[in-house]
């Protein structure tokens, strides 16, 4: 067995095996049923609130570091990234067109999962000595499970697994590699030198800290979404007669597997399901616990308001951006070419609109990569702040992290080029880094589901006109979190 095969077996049979897939699906279904299918019945409210926030029609209320729209833009800039281009392509290349169907399923339950984790992150957030708010899975695990529920042993296990798994993103970061692959192959440049240039831009991106990232993302994210969508929709329209067949292939392959054809080696249903779920989570980050770290900084007066952004993010990421990428790849027939990663998506764009399409996509990958890398930087910082707590070395270590963050990703590019590692192997390593934090976070959401549902019930009574009976007021913010109470 080769090294590539061994790593793939470890990741897909153990870390991303059926137990993790069923855990995500099970908790997502549980929250969906208990919330009354809120991602469906509350979809219009979520879309309306998100759009009003982006247009500046929702005033900032409450404490926080970023406005609701800035927090959403920064988080969306992280979710809409190379996973939508290179990750989706790799999913199809390894799991077949059927993987797309399971991405949609994961996206449907992911809406309520992401809403729950963002709501809990805002509810249980902390305020530091500078008055800046921080939160995320480690915070709601400690305050919700450890303190409120009194399950300190469970909190320590889940928090430790999450922190360890999430911090591996410092060493295994796919963005620099994907950008270097896309831009280097498009313009005939050295991937290593593209990586160096990208790293310089990334340093500029993170130099302003979380506030700077929020401001940059608030104008860059809408631009890059429209930019990419316009090109993708144009290709789909040009290939409109092939779309029904592409959709049929996606659905049939999800339940029957995909036979070997062209350069595609074939994939079973289980493989399509596991790859589809992992790529969906990597792309929309529902259940990963990453986006809540940014959303916890939002200035809102009710945690569920920011939670609505989770529904909006998953919809835009999975059902709009990822779907367009998938349809372009499947409808053009390039999915069976034997290519993978960003190279596969580049080929699909080039086949439809010539070299111009390849240039457009390469630029989109560069922009997507920057916003994603910037968001991951902010998320890891939140975990470090939690772990360092009041350590006298906290500021120095955060400074050291800030100026070394881009380097491991650049080193990954050099190693991949130097030893000729295939893109699929690099993505397998990336998938491995997401499994542990997702498992710990989704289990924590199950234990804290009653708190989320209580906050949702309160929000529906206050802001959606639903008359419900409450025996006692629901505290909107954790009592130790220096927030306001209802």
Those residues of the chain that have pLDDT short of 70 are 1-17, 56-66, 74, 77-78, 81-83, 128-131, 208-221, 423-424, 466-473, 479-486
Residue with tokens 């881009």: 406
Q: Which domain does 430 fall in, by range?
A: 3-481
How is residue 117 written in tokens?
A: 């984790």
pLDDT, residue 15, reads: 67
In a domain, 467, yes or no: yes
What is the C-alpha to C-alpha distance for residues 229 and 81, in angstroms, rounded to an integer? 13
pLDDT, residue 469, reads: 53
The pTM for the full model equals: 0.83
CATH number, domain with residue 476: 1.20.1740
pLDDT, residue 389, reads: 79
Number of domains into which the chain is organized: 1
In a domain, 268, yes or no: yes
In a domain, 95, yes or no: yes
Cα–Cα distance list, 213 to 22, 208, 296, 364, 450 (Å): 35, 7, 15, 18, 33
pLDDT, residue 131, reads: 67
Summarised one tens digit per residue, pLDDT across range 268-305 is 888 888 888 877 877 788 888 888 988 888 888 889 99
In a domain, 88, yes or no: yes
In a domain, 486, yes or no: no
For the chain, the first-to-last Cα distance in angstroms comes to 60
State phi, psi for 286 to the nearest 5 degrees: -70, 120
In a domain, 153, yes or no: yes
């Amino acid at each position: 067995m080769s090294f590539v095969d061994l790593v793939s077996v470890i990741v897909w049979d153990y870390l991303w095996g059926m137990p993790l897939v069923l855990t995500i699906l099970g908790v997502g279904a549980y929250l969906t049923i208990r919330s009354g299918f809120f991602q469906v019945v509350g979809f219009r409210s979520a879309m309306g609130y998100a759009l009003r926030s982006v247009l500046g029609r929702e005033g900032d209320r409450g404490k926080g570091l970023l406005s609701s729209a800035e927090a959403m833009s920064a988080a969306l800039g992280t979710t809409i990234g190379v996973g939508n281009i290179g990750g989706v392509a790799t999913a199809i290349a390894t799991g077949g067109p059927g993987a797309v169907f399971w991405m949609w399923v994961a996206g449907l339950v992911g809406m309520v999962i992401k809403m729950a984790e963002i709501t809990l992150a805002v509810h249980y957030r902390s305020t530091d000595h500078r008055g800046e708010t921080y939160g995320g899975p480690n915070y709601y695990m400690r305050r919700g499970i450890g303190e409120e529920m009194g399950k300190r042993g469970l909190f320590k296990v889940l928090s430790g697994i999450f922190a360890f798994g999430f911090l591996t993103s410092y060493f295994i970061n796919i963005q620099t590699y994907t950008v270097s692959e896309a831009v280097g192959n498009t313009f005939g440049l050295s991937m290593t030198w593209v990586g160096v240039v990208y790293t310089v831009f990334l340093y500029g991106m993170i130099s302003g800290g979380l506030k700077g990232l929020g401001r940059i993302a608030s104008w860059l994210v809408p631009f890059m979404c429209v930019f990419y969508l316009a090109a993708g929709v144009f290709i789909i329209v040009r290939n409109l007669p092939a779309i029904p067949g592409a959709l049929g292939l996606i659905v049939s392959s999800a339940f029957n597997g995909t036979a070997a054809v062209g350069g595609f080696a074939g994939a079973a249903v289980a493989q399509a399901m596991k790859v589809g779920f992992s790529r969906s989570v990597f792309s929309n980050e529902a259940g990963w616990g990453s986006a809540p770290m940014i959303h916890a900084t939002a200035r809102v007066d009710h945690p569920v308001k920011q939670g609505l952004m989770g529904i909006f993010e998953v919809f835009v990421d999975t059902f709009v951006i990822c779907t367009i990428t998938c349809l372009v790849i499947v409808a053009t027939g390039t999915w069976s070419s034997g290519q993978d990663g960003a190279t596969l998506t580049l080929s699909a764009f080039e086949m439809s609109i010539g070299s111009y399409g390849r240039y457009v996509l390469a630029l989109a990958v560069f922009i997507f990569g920057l916003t994603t890398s910037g968001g991951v930087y902010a998320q890891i910082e939140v975990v470090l702040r939690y772990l360092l707590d009041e350590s006298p070395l906290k500021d120095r270590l955060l400074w050291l992290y800030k100026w070394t963050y881009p380097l491991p990703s650049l080193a990954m590019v050099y190693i991949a080029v130097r030893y000729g590692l295939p893109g699929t192997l690099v993505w397998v390593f990336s998938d491995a880094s997401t499994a542990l934090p997702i498992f710990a976070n989704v289990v924590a959401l199950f234990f804290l589901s009653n708190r989320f549902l209580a906050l949702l019930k309160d929000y529906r009574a206050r802001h959606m006109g639903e008359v419900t009976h409450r025996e006692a007021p629901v505290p909107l913010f954790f009592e130790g979190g220096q927030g306001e109470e209802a």
